[in-house]
Every structure is written in structure tokens, then in C-alpha cells.
Chains A and B, each alone.
Chain A
Amino acid sequence: MRNLRRRHLLKAAGAVVGGTLIGGLVRVRLSQDPGRLRPPGAFAADDFASKCIRCQQCVVVCPRQCIIPESSLACFLSTGMPAIDARQNPCDLCAGREQLECIAVCPTDALMPVISRRSVRMGLARIDKQICWPYQGIACRACWHACPFATDAIIFDPLGRPAVSASACVGCGLCEHACLAETAAITVEPFAHGTADIEV
């Protein structure tokens, strides 16, 4: 009986130590991971990662099919997590639909309901002035035409050079998709792990 109890105690200790070890390793590994652009409704990367159970429902319901499950060997842990490649196929925030379909279907609130499309924060667009045409003297408003909140999110200076307003940009990536430069001058930077800059 005593022997049995000792064996159980050993196993419990093993489970605790093993769980802690694995948990710690996963945590360290994830903190090194560069953030990907997630579907709307995902705010801080940490919060999204803690709730996503890889059920693939957002991938399936996306009308634009812009949500693609990750499958990289580099980070095995994020296999199946939904991500968006904005240059290829950006999120249009379910334009013309009643609701954001991915948020409606998410069973774990990894994609949290939003009050309006304006309160989505997938990331923040950043302009590379080395590439952006107006900064080189060529007139261009491609990003402004693509942006769903154009009058607020992209502001032009008197010389016609664009700048992103952090308070209005939802990070959908339509601008990145529309950018006429060969490598996109305007790119959406997703919120990295550890940063929780939500300002809804």
C-alpha cells in the first residue's frame, strides 16, 4: 500500500515536472515566433494563441477565402492556426455581409465579437518611405482607394504623400494587396507576442 502510494506520488511529480517543462518550452518558443496576421476579432497575439483550438471553422466560412491555416515545419505548434497573407488575399471585413463570418463561427472567442468593423485591430499598416511612390515623386493613391476607412486611416500631406493613422487603421491589409509597388510599400504589421496594444 505504501509502495503504491509512493509510486503514485512519483508519477504525479513526473506529470507536474513534465507539464511545467513542456509548458515553459512552448512558452519560450512562442515568444520567439514572429506574429502572423490573424483574422479580424483577434486582438493581442497572446490572447488569440491562448484560445485558438485549430478547429478550422473560420478558414471554411471565410467568404473571400483569405484565411489560410498555417502549416509550416518551422513552428509545429502553430500548425492549423488561421493566418492571412495580406499581399496575396487580404481580409475585406466581410464587405456587404451582415456580420464578420469568422467571428460569428469561432467557438472559443479567440476571435472576439466587435462592436463595429471600425473596432477591428488585426495589426497596423506601416509605410516604407524608401519604396512608396509619392515619396519618390510619383503620384499614387492605390492604398487610399483600397482602404475601407480611407478618409480616416490614410492621411495625405500637402505633397500627396500618405501616412497611416494608428487610431483608425484596422490592419485588414487591403492596402498591402492594392499597393502598386513591386514589393508592397505599405505592409500590415501584426501585433507580436507580448504586445497587447488594444485601443478599441
Chain B
Amino acid sequence: MELPILRSERGDGQTASSSGHVATGWMRRVRWWTWSRRATAGSLLLLMVIANSSIGHSSIGHSSTWLSWFTGSITAATWFGCLPIVDPLAALEVVLASHSVPAWTLVGSMFTVALALGLGRVFCSWACPLGLVLELNDGLWNKAWRRRKRQLHRVGRSLQPLKYWILGACLIASSIAEIPVFAAISPISLMVQAISRMSLHLLVVIVVIALIEIFFPRLFCRALCPLGGLYSLLGRWGVFRVRASGEDRLRCQRCSLDCPMGIDVMHDYVLAGKSSIDDGQCTRCGACTEVCLGHILRLGISSGNTRSAVSE
């Protein structure tokens, strides 16, 4: 089938801009969402690494140096000396393990929970340092192995609900062992520690995950990470989401093929006539909006999910 719009396709599909209006020239080829995400997650990782490594503190102690406005790692952090932010899963595990509700844990996790309720599972694509590394790893293999995406995308899809059961298992294990289990063994936290302290043996876990993901793209984030599972459960009703508008449905499948979380955007949402993607697993990464040939997918604010049925 000849589709006239395909003329604008270039190389690996970097045609559409994410902004509302149709941009021109190089503006159009840049993946704005992807690069703003990578910049956000990357600078957060850099901040945590500097704060926790010897660069961040001088010999007379940290509290008098230039980086005193940030302390912390991925499980918990304090901004400007007064604003605590706590990983909601770590907080839940602490409550279950210690049979108490520490005040700052409650306050700190309220921020992340509110963020997830309002914006969805944004942590995974905008903040998670392991997510950033695995995304780059995934891109590398996609480039090296052209048909990988098409061949392997369906493999992990049936495994995706596994993360909810792992989440349950983590909570049960935490209350039995009386330690916050996922906070202790979380590859995300281990990676930040490994880089900031140059203890490379901790990186083994990350390397193993990256190697597995050659064959199962984004398996950890999609199917194994209990933190991602918790954010998926919380983020279902987030109003910041991918919206589908306009009638220009080309069935190019790019959204479904490029979704790092394996959501079948085209069949389950666009062709089903839904106005927005309300899948809790959507990390609001914007990948589908950038590759959409018909420019009908956009990241924005939306709460409803109905659209007058359009005849196919």
C-alpha cells in the first residue's frame, strides 16, 4: 500500500516533533522528549554520584561545601536541607518491617506518591538512573540489530504482570525478614552506589541485567522491577498522558513498535478509538509521540478516555 506521507520518513523514523505545532527542518528531527528525559535522568544521576562520592565533600565535611543543598541517593534524598523525598516502595517496606510510621518517611513519600498519582509512572523514564542506562543499552542493540525490535517485542509482553507479584513478594519478604528487602537489594540503588564509590563488583548485577536485555528488551523495567510495579499501580489515573487526536491513522505501527514498555498503542488505543493512553505501565516517555507518522499522538494533560467512535 502506498502512503503518501511516508515521503517524509527519514532513516530511523525521526520525523515527528513532539510539540503541538508541526515544526520544520532540524527542529523536526530532534527527539525533544527523549533528550529532555535523558538530560533530566542523567543530571539527577550525576548529582547523586557527585554528592555521594569524594568529589562532593571536602576533608572538613560535607555540610560546609557547595553541594550542601542536596544529600541522598535514589531511595531517599533531602533537597535544600528541608525537603525530604522518599521512594514510596522503600517507605512501605520500612512501615511493614519496623511496624512503625516514621514521620519524615510519610512526608517524603507523600511527594513521590502525589507525583505518581498526578503525572503517572514518570519516575521510570524521567528520573530512574537504571532506566536511563537500560534505555541506552536498548538503543545500542536496536541499532546493531535492525530487526530486533520487531522480533522481540512480544516476548516480554506476557511477563509484564510479573512485577506486581514481585512487588507483593517484596512486601511479604520485608515484613517477615524485618528489613526493607527491595531497598537493600535494589539494582537502582546498587548502581548509584557502585558508580559513586567506584566499587565495581556491585556493577555485576547491572551488567547481568543489561546482557539479559539484549534478548528481552527492557525486561527489568517492564516485568521485574517492583518499584515500577508500584508506580504503575499508582500512575493509572495520572492526567499527564499521551493523547490521540486527529483522524490521520496510518496503521504504521511505529508507536507499538517503539514503546519501551511494550504497550500496543496502535491496536489497544488508537484503533480502539480511545482519546488517551491510560495504561498504568506507560512511563510518559514520549517515544510514541516522536515516531508517530501521522502526528496524532501527543503528550499532554488529559483525564478522559472517550472519543466519538470513528468509522474504520
A residues touching B (Cβ–Cβ < 8 Å)? 11-12, 14-16, 18-20, 22-27, 30, 46-47, 49-57, 59-65, 69, 71, 73, 76-80, 101, 105-109
| Chain B residues with a Cβ closer than 8 Å to the other chain, count | 58
Among B52, B94, B189, the residue within 8 A (CB) of A60 is B52
B107 (CB) vs chain A CBs: closest residue: A107
The residue from B61, B63, B105 contacting A107, defined by CB atoms under 8 A apart: B105
Offer 20 A-B interface pairs, CB within 8 angstroms, sorted by A.
A11-B165, A15-B166, A15-B168, A15-B169, A26-B179, A27-B176, A49-B178, A51-B97, A54-B189, A55-B77, A60-B56, A60-B72, A62-B62, A63-B63, A65-B61, A80-B184, A80-B189, A80-B193, A107-B86, A109-B100
**Binary interface encoding of chain B residues 176-193 relative to chain A, with 1 for a CB under 8 A from any of its CBs, else 0:** 111111011100011001
> Is B69 in the interface zone, CB < 8 Å from A?
no
From the candidates B91, B98, B185, name the one contacting A50 in the complex (CB within 8 A). B98
Q: Shortest distance in angstroms between B296's beta carbon and chain A's nearest beta carbon?
A: 33
Query: Which residues from A are CB-within-8-Å of B100?
Result: 51, 109
* Interchain pairs with CB closer than 8 A, number: 167
Inter-chain contact A15/B165, CB cutoff 8 Å: yes
Question: Is residue B73 contacting chain A, with contact meaning CB distance below 8 A?
Answer: yes
Interface assignment of B217: CB less than 8 Å from any CB of chain A: no
- Residues in B with CB closer than 8 Å to A51 are 94, 97-98, 100, 102, 180
Asked if residues B57 and A60 are in contact (CB atoms below 8 Å), the reply is yes
Are B184 and A79 within 8 A (Cβ)? Answer: yes
The interface bits of chain B over 153-178 (1 if a CB of A lies within 8 angstroms of the residue's CB, else 0) are 00000000100011011111111111
CB 8 Å contact bits of B97-113 with A (1 = contact, 0 = none)? 11010111100100000
Residues A20 and B173 in contact in the complex (CB < 8 Å), given A57-B71, A107-B105, A108-B105:
yes
**Main SS at interface, chain A:** helix
- Residue B278 interfacial (CB < 8 Å): no
CA distance A73 to B165 in the complex (A): 28
B87 interface hit (Cβ, 8 Å):
yes
Find out whether the CB atom of B98 lies under 8 angstroms from the CB atom of A47.
yes
Q: Which chain A residue shows the least CB distance to B60?
A: A63
Whole-angstrom distance from the CB of B72 to the nearest CB of chain A?
Answer: 5
* Selected contact of A55 from candidates B76, B175, B181, B190, CB within 8 Å: B76
Within 8 A of A (CB), among B38-92: 51-52, 56-57, 59-63, 71-73, 75-78, 84, 86-87, 90-91
Report the minimal beta-carbon distance from B255 to chain A, rounded to whole angstroms.
Answer: 28
Q: Is B172 a contact partner of A15 (Cβ separation < 8 A)?
A: yes
Say how far B199's CB is from chain A's closest CB, in angstroms: 5
Residues of chain A within 8 A of B161, CB atoms compared: 11
Given the interface pairs A30-B177, A50-B180, A53-B90, the reply to whether A107 lies near B108 with Cβ below 8 Å is yes
Does the CB pair B76–A27 fall under 8 Å?
Answer: no
Q: Does B239 contact A (CB under 8 A)?
A: no
Q: Are A60 and B51 neighbours in the complex by a CB distance under 8 Å?
A: yes
B198 to chain A, nearest CB (A): 10
Most buried by B among A22, A47, A56: A56
Q: Is the CB of A23 within 8 A of B172?
A: yes
Assess whether A63 is in contact with B61, with CB atoms less than 8 Å apart. Answer: yes
With A12-B168, A19-B168, A60-B57 given, is the CB distance from A71 to B52 under 8 Å?
A: no
For B57, what are the chain A residues with a Cβ–Cβ distance below 8 Å?
Answer: 60, 65
A60-B62, A77-B184 known; A107+B104 contact, CB < 8 A: yes
Complex Cα gap A52–B94 (Å): 8
Q: How far is the CB of A189 from chain B (nearest CB, A)?
A: 22
Partner of B78, one of A11, A16, A57, A76: A57
Q: How far is the CB of A104 from chain B (nearest CB, A)?
A: 9
* A24-B108 Cα distance, complex, nearest whole Å: 29
Residues of B within 8 A of A30 (CB): 177, 179
